[in-house]
């Protein structure tokens, strides 16, 4: 019992000490994020090339390699396939960090991510502490349709 209390208190201390999360920051997914059970199947499941599947909100580099290796229909949905998806912080509400997945190609995003519940990825400081995401400081801009596209996305998110 004492160990549990100690581990929980350590986790809370780490979350408090973590650097401040701000709008405009970018995080890379190290573990894939899928919609939770509260989202209706009609919003999160799609049929692509006669295969019914649940769309990921954000994919890790490992998942992208698996999509490519298995020949999955999802392998072409990403702007780049080397690293995990890049998440742009658009809003911070309480402990929730609301992000837009910048790695999904616009065609797929418009066609399959139509439900409001699928358009945003919600992460927490706990996801940062547990290693589900990591902050990206540089190098992501050029993977996502060049520098100018990133600036446009950032300015649009700041206007909302």
The DSSP string of 89-121 is EEEEETTEEEEEESSB-HHHHHHH--SHHHH-E
In the predicted structure, residue 27 carries a pLDDT above the cut 80: yes
Q: Is the separation of the CB atoms in 121 and 58 below 8 Å? A: yes
Q: Is the separation of the CB atoms in 57 and 34 below 8 Å? A: yes
pLDDT at position 52 is: 82
pTM: 0.77
46: tokens are 């799609």
In the predicted structure, residue 28 carries a pLDDT above the cut 90: yes
pLDDT at position 147 is: 46
pLDDT at position 97 is: 93
Residue ranges per structural domain of the chain:
19-159
pLDDT at position 29 is: 94
Residue with token string 């290796």: 69
pLDDT in tens, 62-75: 988 888 888 877 77
pLDDT in tens, 123-151: 998 898 888 999 888 766 655 555 455 56
**Which element (helix H / strand E) includes 56?**
none
pLDDT at position 141 is: 65
């Amino acid at each position: 019992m004492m160990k549990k209390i100690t581990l929980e208190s350590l986790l809370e201390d780490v979350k408090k000490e973590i650097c401040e999360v701000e709008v405009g920051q970018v995080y890379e997914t190290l573990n894939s994020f899928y919609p939770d059970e509260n989202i209706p199947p009609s919003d999160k499941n799609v049929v692509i090339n006669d295969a019914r599947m649940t769309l990921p909100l954000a994919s890790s580099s490992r998942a992208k390699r698996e999509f490519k290796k298995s020949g999955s229909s999802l392998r072409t949905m990403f702007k780049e396939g080397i690293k995990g998806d890049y998440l742009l912080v658009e809003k911070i509400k309480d402990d929730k960090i609301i992000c837009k997945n910048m790695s999904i190609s616009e065609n797929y995003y418009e066609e399959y991510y139509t439900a409001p519940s699928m358009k945003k990825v919600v992460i927490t400081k706990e996801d940062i502490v547990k290693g589900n995401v990591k902050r990206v400081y540089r190098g992501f801009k050029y993977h996502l349709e060049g520098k100018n596209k990133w600036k446009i996305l950032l300015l649009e998110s700041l206007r909302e």
